[in-house]
Amino acid sequence: MGAKLVQLPPPRARAGRGLGETIQRRGSTREFGHASLTAEELATALWAAARPFDADVPSGLVDLYLIVNAVEGVPSGAYFYWADAHALETLATGEFRNRSAYLCLEQPLGGDAAATIYWLRPTPRDSAPRGSRSTTLTSSSSSRRTPRAKTRSS
């Protein structure tokens, strides 16, 4: 990991409410304000999303990437989450609200949110199909992990 890391604060030891109350109060929205999150709130969400749990499937099936739009103490940009280090690897800094909305099926909520987390399957560098009419879009910003999107023309 030679890239710049943003160290996150420790996650909260305890959530604000219990599971039962959370389920009863749950709801969904299609609109978000542009209010900021604290770094602790983001750190807790990432820790909960990436922590191991007992299951009959192997861990490590997805990687967490995120676009930060408004998190106190974390510059706006694109990041990879290193669960073991509880840190963000900076892929690119800058304003990505429009790209985040586009990646969320062109829904504004992806750009309005303070941070948007993307669960992506790790893709080996040599997995691009050979001899087919495929295009692999590769971002070379990350030294270890490279997000890929594949399109195939018929």
Q: What is the pLDDT along the chain (154 residues), one digit of tens a residue?
A: 567 899 999 998 876 777 778 778 777 766 677 889 999 999 999 998 888 777 766 777 889 999 999 999 999 999 999 999 999 999 999 999 999 999 999 999 889 999 999 999 887 755 544 443 233 323 323 333 444 443 344 3
Backbone angles phi, psi at 103, to 5 degrees: -65, -20
Per-residue tokens: 24: 């009863």
Tell the CATH topology of 5-126: NADH Oxidase (3.40.109)
Please enumerate in sequence order all residues whose Cβ is within 8 A of that of 79, keeping only pairs 6 or more positions apart, or say none.
Answer: 6, 65, 66, 67, 68, 88, 89, 90, 91
Task: Kindly list the distances between the CA atom of residue 136 and the CA atoms of 55, 67, 102, 149, in Å, as whole numbers in the listed order.
Answer: 33, 21, 18, 6
Query: 6 forms bridges with which residues in the sheet?
Result: 88
Cα torsion through 59, 61, 67, 72, rounded to 10: 0
What are the residue ranges spanned by the domains of the chain? 5-126
Per-residue tokens: 108: 């504004």
Query: 82 forms bridges with which residues in the sheet?
Result: 87
Q: What local confidence, expressed as pLDDT, does residue 146 receive?
A: 40
Please enumerate in sequence order all residues whose Cβ is within 8 A of that of 100, keeping only pairs 6 or more positions apart, or say none.
Answer: 67, 69, 110, 111, 113, 116
